[in-house]
Amino acid sequence: GSVKLASSDPFTFPLMDSNYFATAFDLFTMRETVKAARQFVTASPWRDLVNEWFGAMGAVETYAEIVAAARDSVLTIWHPTSSARMSPKGARHGVVDPDLLVKHVAGLRVVDASVCPAIPACHTTAPVYILAERASALIKAAWYLK
C-alpha cells in the first residue's frame, strides 16, 4: 500500500491505498479464512450458538462471491501500522532510520506505530510505549540531556 500527501495543507487527509487483494495469495488467504471461520462456527459446541451469518460474508458460497464480498467489506479501522516503515541507515527503502529520523528531511522524527516494519503480533500499545521510550532516549542524546 501507500500513503501520499493530497495537498500541502496539513489538515487535509492523505491519500491512502491499502492495496488489499493485490496478489493471488491475498485472495487465497481471504478465501481460506472464510472457509476456516465457517468450519469453526459449525463445529460443536459453537453450532448451537450461531443463529445466522452476519454481513456481506453471510450469503457467499463461491470463490468469486467471497472475493466480491471481501472487496466490499474489508477495511482497516483498528490500529493501522507500518505506513512509515523503519529501515536500516543507508537503505533505499523505508521512511525512517533506526533513530526514527525521516530520511532526507532534517530534524523530523516519527514516533508512533507507523514506523513498525511489520504489523506487531499484539495490541499496538506495548510497541508504541517501547518506541516512545527509545525516542525519548534518542532525543535526549541528540540534545545532550541527561
- Among the listed residues 35, 71, 79, 89, the single catalytic one is 79
CA distances from 144 to 5, 69, 134, 136 (A): 34, 55, 15, 12
Is 104 in the active site? no
How many Å apart are CA 21 and CA 4, to the nearest integer?
A: 20
CB 94 within 8 A of CB 87: yes
CB 137 within 8 A of CB 131: no
Q: What is the DSSP letter of 12?
A: S
- Among the listed residues 123, 133, 141, 142, the single catalytic one is 123
Is 79 in the active site? yes
Query: What positions carry a catalytic annotation?
Result: 79, 123
